[in-house]
Structure 1
Amino acid sequence: MSLSIPQRAPAIDTAATWQPVCEQQDLVSNSGVVVWLDGAQVALFYLPGAEGKTLYAIDNHDPQSGANVIGRGLIGNIKGDLVVASPIYKQHFRLEDGSCLEYPLQRLRVWPVRLQGGVVEIGLS
């Protein structure tokens, strides 16, 4: 009698498809760059020294000022949350989920993002 050991199912990406947007060499450590994705400006933040996740994709449009400037914001840490400060009115958005610390009703869209063989890809759902 032989025992069958169940095989672990492969991990499934939560995004339906992945869209390449730039090369890893286009990223600037601890800063933002902006890419186009289906007519939207997406700010990419590359934090190679951070524990855990090192790449974030968040909407570049600041809802408070109406300007496309989030990619030029300063990265920081507030109470354990990685944030970007908008360069105009200085409100802080969490990189993980796009929520605004000062204005809870404001939220930036976030996308799944990954590095795949030196290429930055954003997940489209």
Structure 2
Amino acid sequence: MSQTTTALIQTEPTHAVTWRALCHRRDLVANSGVVAWLDGYQVALFHLPQVDDHEKVFAIENKDPKSGANVIGRGIVGTLKGELVVASPLYKQHFRLKDGACLEYPEQRLRVWPARLQGDTVEIGLDS
């Protein structure tokens, strides 16, 4: 399996961010989630090596709002209604990776962070 040395940010931040190294590329699992600790939050990282012919990393809150359990990083990634989503392993609701919105329950939302690969480093964007 070849690895790309450059990657795109999942979404362009609309405000100034400070990038912080969170983990290494070798910590990620392609097409699946892993969980990292960031300033008191569990962050689920999803590495999608081939989305629209690009490599992307998404960072989304790990805590399921319906159950309160930290399980989103164990969810299944897929596409639903043309959107990249992760399905919660407990109640199966789908959250968009780009903005954390729940497709079935609009009142549910997960926090998201900009994320990117810089060489072999996974970086997460923090508000400046």
Q: Secondary structure at the match of 1:48?
A: strand
Between the two structures, name the one with larger relative contact order (CA 8 Å, sep ≥ 6).
2
Partner of 2:8: none
Q: Secondary structure at the match of 2:37?
A: strand
For 1:17, give the aligned amino acid.
Answer: T
Structure 1 gaps, min length 5: 1-11
Partner of 1:106: 108
The whole-number CA distance in structure 2 between the counterparts of 1:111 and 1:27 is 16
Partner of 1:26: 27
Structure 2 gaps, min length 5: 1-11
Cα offsets for 1:5-52 (capped at 9, x unmatched):
xxxxxxx97443111110011100000000001010000000101115
1:60 equivalenced with 2:65 (yes/no): no
The whole-number CA distance in structure 2 between the counterparts of 1:18 and 1:124 is 6
Distance 1:24-1:115 versus aligned 2 partners, 3 A rule: same
User: Which of 80, 83, 88 pairs up with 2:82?
Assistant: 80
Stretch moving more, 105-114 or 44-53 = 44-53
Cα offsets for 1:49-104 (capped at 9, x unmatched):
11156110000000000000000000110111000000000000000100001100
Q: Report which of the two has the higher share of strand.
A: 2
TM-score, normalisation: structure 2: 0.84
For 1:97, give the aligned amino acid.
Answer: D
TM-score, normalisation: structure 1: 0.86
The whole-number CA distance in structure 2 between the counterparts of 1:75 and 1:108 is 15
- For the Cα contact (< 8 Å) 2:56–2:116, is it kept in 1? no
Distance 1:105-1:53 versus aligned 2 partners, 3 A rule: farther
Bigger radius of gyration: 1
Partner of 1:40: 41
- For the Cα contact (< 8 Å) 1:114–1:120, is it kept in 2? yes
The whole-number CA distance in structure 1 between the counterparts of 2:80 and 2:119 is 32
Distance 1:31-1:15 versus aligned 2 partners, 3 A rule: farther
> How large is the RMSD of aligned CA atoms in angstroms?
1.5
